[in-house]
């Protein structure tokens, strides 16, 4: 069994929540800094969701045909 592949695949579960959390953090911080409540929070959250989904899909496609 290849433990490196198994670790890479198990990290896929954290890609989407981590991307959303980063988008939320930076959106909140930029809103407070620039005084643009809630616009940058919403935009950065949506960008985090999109980034997380793209990363998740790429990760799934990378290991879709491989044998773990």
Predicted confidence (pLDDT) per residue in 55-68, tens digit: 999 988 887 876 65
- Indicate if the pLDDT at residue 34 is higher than 90: yes
Contact 56, 15 (CB under 8 A): yes
Cβ pair 7, 1 in contact under 8 A:
no
Global confidence as pTM: 0.82
Residue 14: inside a domain: yes
In a domain, 68, yes or no: no
Range of the domain at 33: 6-63
Residue 26 has pLDDT above 90, yes or no: yes
**Contacts of 21 by beta carbon, 8 Å cutoff, 6+ apart:** 48
Domain tally, the chain: 1
pLDDT number for residue 38: 92
Instruction: Count Cβ atoms below 10 Å from residue 39 Cβ, excluding itself.
Output: 12
18, 49 Cβ separation under 8 angstroms? no
In angstroms, what is the C-alpha Rg of the chain? 16
Whether 23 maps to a domain, the answer reads yes
């Amino acid at each position: 069994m290849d433990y490196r592949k198994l670790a890479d695949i198990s990290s896929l579960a954290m890609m989407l929540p981590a991307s959303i959390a980063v988008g939320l953090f930076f959106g909140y911080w930029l809103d407070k800094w620039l005084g643009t409540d809630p616009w940058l929070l919403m935009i950065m959250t949506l960008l985090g969701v999109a980034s997380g989904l793209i990363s998740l899909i790429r990760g799934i496609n990378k290991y879709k045909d491989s044998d773990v």
